[in-house]
């Protein structure tokens, strides 16, 4: 039997063997080669060197060490005409130049060009200060020749580390910049690299110029799916034949290295996931029809008009199913047998003794027995087989279901308000009304999306940098912004009751056009001045320690200089009196101190 200690020992031996192999390859047949002092002027950095970035502060520290102790480890070079090209040791070379050294200890070796690059890559990757994106690109180069398992052995790194760096190499340049300057973490970079370059570019443009980890995380969350919560079998190869099973899919993060921790299965191909999700829902409908099982969406009547819920209801109706909502039925789910572990979890925030926990368990078991008896006798009490599913995730569970006697779903003459009734419950005339209402609602949603797209587009342009004076349309737009968002009811009645005129017979679009037609800058100025009086701060903020207050105080001097001066004078007089009394008090105390010292 293999013990844990023996396994650790074998792993150490394997790692040591790998390191020896690398060391052997690096030294080649260099035994007997002597260290030479070569002129730094004859040494050239390799333009193909995979390492591009060097920490300037660390170089400076190394150069100071070289000034004091010299170069303790020779660099490795290869002959190129009259000069020498660096194979290993460019950092020591750069630091020596900073230290103004004329020569540098070197070992001259011969290499085939491909071997040189591979050795440089391996040597660089075994350092501790390699920039992550360069590290990723270097490992990607090695992956053209070696499998991740072989690369991990050569580098003495875990296979998961190699796979993560391989994924990071797929990050577009626009995001690599943020990794290099430290704004984006490696894990977040890997998360973005899960997506195709076109999708990454879209994410980059959506984010705008300023990096936002929160925004990027949200975009990743919106475009990835936890396969452990999928409403379909992730092992099913026939659900969508062309793409096969999720467990083998390259877009499953679990097959791209441990990107989300603990080998978690996460789908990074949203279109494929949504297709499988829709297909699984259609399969659920077919099963319901074939097996005569009632299919119940988790929708209350209160939420029936939600667009997503309406889509679900419509799909069920189009497939010939009678739609029953949660309010129309009684449901019995299979009870879960309680355990002491579940009780401890439930009461983990309570300071319960073992006896109290066992007491809670006994009560839970008693309730479970009663629920189980109800569940087992469900069909005897008029319940039938059913399936309940969530309208967004499509996750489903088997239940027993019975239609309530007072359910109005089956009564086509049900006189509930038209907006609350389903299409099947309406007369042809009422259906026309509902169809028109739905179209109005859809148009409203469409307008919302259209407007949002337009605003996002404008935000990505240089609009706010424009030098032109504000146009009338811009001042009109700003006026409405101020009026709708900053003027309360009292202010509207007191100062702006005639601002828009009689709009009772106008649409919103006509109201704006009318305002523009009769627009005067005086109205705009009035709104601005009203807002200025509302935006000042009181309390600890005043006219000498707050930018808003200082600017307002200065602006008002142009209108009420005398009145402000009178207020200033009043406070100055009080302040002078107070400071005079304070000086007298301090003088008296100083006199007492002097007398004590004498």
- Catalytically annotated residue among 57, 64, 67, 90: 90
- Same-domain status, 407 and 492: no
| Strand (E) or helix (H) holding 77 | strand 75-80
Beta bridge partners of 105: 37
- Same-domain status, 305 and 401: yes
> Domain limits at 477?
472-535
Please state the length of the chain.
598
**Considering 535, 555, 586, which residue would you say is the last residue of a domain?**
535
* Residues 27-76 pLDDT 10s: 333 333 567 889 999 998 877 665 566 777 778 888 887 887 787 777 87
> Dihedrals φ, ψ of 456, to 5°?
-60, -40
Mean pLDDT of the chain: 79
* Residues 475-504 pLDDT 10s: 888 888 888 888 887 787 778 888 887 777
- Is residue 485 assigned to a domain? yes
- Same-domain status, 406 and 491: no
- Same-domain status, 400 and 312: yes
- Specify whether the CB–CB gap between 474 and 346 falls below 8 A: no
| Secondary structure, 3-state, 86-143 | EEECHHHHHHHHHCCCCEEEEEECCCCHHHHHHHHHHHHHCCCCCCHHHHHHHHHHHH
* Residues 360-398 pLDDT 10s: 889 889 989 999 999 999 999 889 999 999 988 889 999
* Choice between 395 and 162, residue whose per-residue pLDDT is larger: 395
Predicted structure pTM score: 0.44
- Same-domain status, 403 and 496: no
Rounded CA-CA distance 382/400 in Å is 9
- Is residue 358 assigned to a domain? yes
Q: Give the number of domains in the chain.
A: 2
In this prediction, residue 355 has a pLDDT band, given cuts at 50, 70 and 90, of confident
Tokens of 372: 């189980």
- Is residue 391 assigned to a domain? yes
Q: Is 362 a catalytic residue?
A: no
- Is residue 489 assigned to a domain? yes
Residue 297: pLDDT over 90 = yes
- Is residue 243 assigned to a domain? no
Tokens of 498: 């005639």
Residue 7: pLDDT over 70 = no
Rounded CA-CA distance 374/192 in Å is 50
Residues 6+ apart with CB under 8 A from 323: 297, 313, 316, 317, 409, 422, 424
**Considering 535, 553, 586, which residue would you say is the last residue of a domain?**
535
- Same-domain status, 370 and 302: yes
- Is residue 177 assigned to a domain? no
Residue 339: pLDDT over 90 = yes
- Same-domain status, 396 and 504: no
Side-chain half-sphere exposure of 437, counting CA atoms within 13 A: 15
Map tokens 């690599």 to a residue: 176
**Considering 395, 411, 426, which residue would you say is the last residue of a domain?**
426
Neighbours of 310 (CB within 10 A): 18
């Amino acid at each position: 039997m293999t013990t844990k200690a023996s396994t650790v020992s074998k792993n150490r031996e394997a790692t040591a063997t790998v390191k020896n192999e690398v060391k052997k390859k690096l030294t080649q047949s260099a035994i007997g080669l002597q260290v030479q002092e070569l002129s730094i002027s004859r040494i050239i950095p390799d333009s193909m060197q995979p390492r591009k970035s060097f920490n300037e502060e660390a170089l400076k520290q190394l150069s100071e060490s070289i000034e004091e102790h010299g170069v303790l480890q020779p660099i490795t070079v290869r002959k190129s005409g009259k000069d020498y090209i660096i194979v290993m040791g460019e950092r020591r070379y750069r630091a020596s130049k900073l230290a103004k050294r004329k020569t540098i200890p070197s070992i001259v070796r011969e290499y085939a060009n491909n071997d040189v690059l591979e050795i440089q890559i391996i040597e660089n990757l075994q350092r501790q200060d390699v920039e992550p994106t360069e590290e990723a690109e270097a490992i990607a180069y090695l992956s053209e020749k070696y499998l991740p398992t072989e690369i991990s052995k050569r580098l003495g790194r875990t296979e998961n580390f190699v796979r993560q760096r391989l994924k990071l190499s797929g990050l577009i340049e626009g995001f690599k910049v943020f990794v290099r300057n430290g704004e984006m973490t490696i894990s977040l970079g890997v998360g973005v690299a899960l997506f195709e370059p076109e999708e990454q570019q879209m994410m980059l443009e959506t984010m705008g110029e300023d990096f936002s980890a929160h925004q990027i995380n949200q975009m990743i969350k919106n475009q990835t799916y936890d396969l452990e919560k999928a409403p379909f079998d992730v092992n099913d190869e026939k659900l969508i034949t062309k793409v096969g099973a999720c467990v083998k899919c390259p877009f499953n993060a679990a097959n791209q290295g441990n990107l989300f921790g603990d080998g978690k299965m996460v789908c990074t191909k949203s279109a494929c996931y949504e297709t499988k999700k829709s297909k699984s829902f259609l399969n659920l409908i077919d099963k319901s029809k074939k097996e005569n099982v009632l299919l119940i969406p988790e929708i209350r009547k209160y939420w029936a008009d939600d667009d997503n819920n309406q889509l679900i209801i419509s799909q069920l109706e189009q497939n010939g199913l009678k739609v029953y909502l949660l309010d129309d039925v009684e449901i019995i789910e299979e009870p879960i047998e309680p355990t002491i572990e579940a009780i401890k979890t439930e009461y983990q925030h309570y300071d319960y003794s073992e006896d109290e926990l066992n007491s809670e368990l006994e009560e839970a078991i008693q309730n479970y027995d009663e629920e189980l008896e109800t569940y087992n006798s469900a069909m005897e009490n008029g319940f039938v087989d059913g399936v309940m599913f969530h309208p967004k995730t499509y996750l489903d569970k088997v239940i027993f279901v019975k239609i309530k006697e007072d359910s109005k779903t089956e009564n086509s003459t049900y006189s509930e308000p038209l907006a609350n009734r389903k299409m099947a419950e309406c007369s042809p005339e009422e259906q026309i009304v509902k169809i028109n209402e739905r179209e109005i609602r859809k148009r409203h949603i469409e307008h919302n999306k259209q407007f949002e797209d337009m605003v996002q587009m404008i935000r990505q342009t240089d609009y706010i940098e424009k030098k032109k004076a504000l146009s009338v349309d811009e001042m009109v737009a700003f006026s409405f912004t101020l009026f709708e968002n900053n003027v309360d009811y009292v202010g509207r009645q007191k100062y702006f009751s005639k601002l828009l005129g009689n709009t009772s017979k106008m649409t919103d679009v006509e109201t704006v056009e009318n305002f523009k037609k009769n627009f005067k800058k005086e109205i705009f100025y009035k709104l601005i001045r009203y807002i200025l009086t509302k935006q000042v701060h009181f309390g600890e903020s005043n006219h000498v320690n707050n930018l808003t207050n200082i600017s307002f105080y200065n602006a008002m001097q142009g209108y009420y200089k005398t009145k402000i001066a009178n207020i200033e004078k009043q406070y100055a007089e009080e302040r002078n009196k107070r400071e005079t009394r304070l000086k007298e008090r301090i003088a008296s105390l100083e006199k007492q101190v002097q007398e004590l010292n004498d």
